[in-house]
Structure 1
Amino acid sequence: MANHKSAIKRHRQSLKRATRNRAMKTRVRNTVKAVRTAILQKDKDQAQVLLGTANSVLDKAAGKGVIHWRMAARSISRLSKAVAEIA
């Protein structure tokens, strides 16, 4: 453990951020999984509703720096394409 006040504060901040990042990544994975499940079940209405939620969660995670913005854009694009292809 660090001895300097600033290093102790830094450690405390890093733990707090790591916890928040882990929670955000889990939320991203769960929302994407929900959209993919709806796509597999060919439920277009449910998939579109979940896609809106997933877009919001992905954009928020990218804005906070939890995931890279290009990864978020790629995920949104692929999910949108998959939802559009449901007959």
Structure 2
Amino acid sequence: MANTPQSKKRARQNERRYAVNKARRSRIRTYLRKVEEAIASGDSAAAKDALRAAQPELMRGVTKGVMHKNTAARKMSRLSARVKTLG
């Protein structure tokens, strides 16, 4: 357990950051799941709309430090390729 005032404050900050990052990650996963569901249903228009909505959310995760730039780029690339095959 933290002993010094500085380490106590750090522990509090870490808890807050953890909660914020967890919420952000969850939000990104929700957007990705919506794209996955649209692809699974075979609805090309819905998939494109969902992908368009997920893209800025993914990039926001990168700028906020929740995920690595290449991870987001890889996810976007794979999803867009799958949406493209729908039609």
TM-score, length-scaled by structure 2: 0.91
2:13 — aligned with what?
13
Q: Aligned to 1:85, what secondary structure does the other structure show?
A: helix
Alignment of structure 1 residues 46-65 onto 2, 5 Å: 46-65=46-65
Give the whole-Å Cα distance in 1 for the aligned partners of 2:14 and 2:39.
37
Specify every segment of 5 or more residues in structure 1 that has no aligned partner in the other structure, as ranges: none
Match of 1:75 in 2: 75
User: How large is the Cα RMSD of the aligned pairs?
Assistant: 1.1
Deviation of 1:3 (Å): 2.8
- Counterpart check, 1:26 vs 2:26: yes
* SS of equivalent to 2:66: coil
Q: Offset at 1:78?
A: 0.7
1:28 Cα offset (Å): 1.3
Query: How many pairs align?
Result: 87
User: Percent of aligned positions with the same letter in both sequences?
Assistant: 37
The alignment's TM-score, normalised by the length of structure 1, stands at 0.91
Q: Distance in 1 between matches of 2:50 and 2:5?
A: 45
In structure 2, the gaps of 5 or more residues are none
Per-residue Cα deviation, 1:11-64 (whole angstroms, up to 9, x for no partner): 111000101111111111111111011011111111111111111111011111
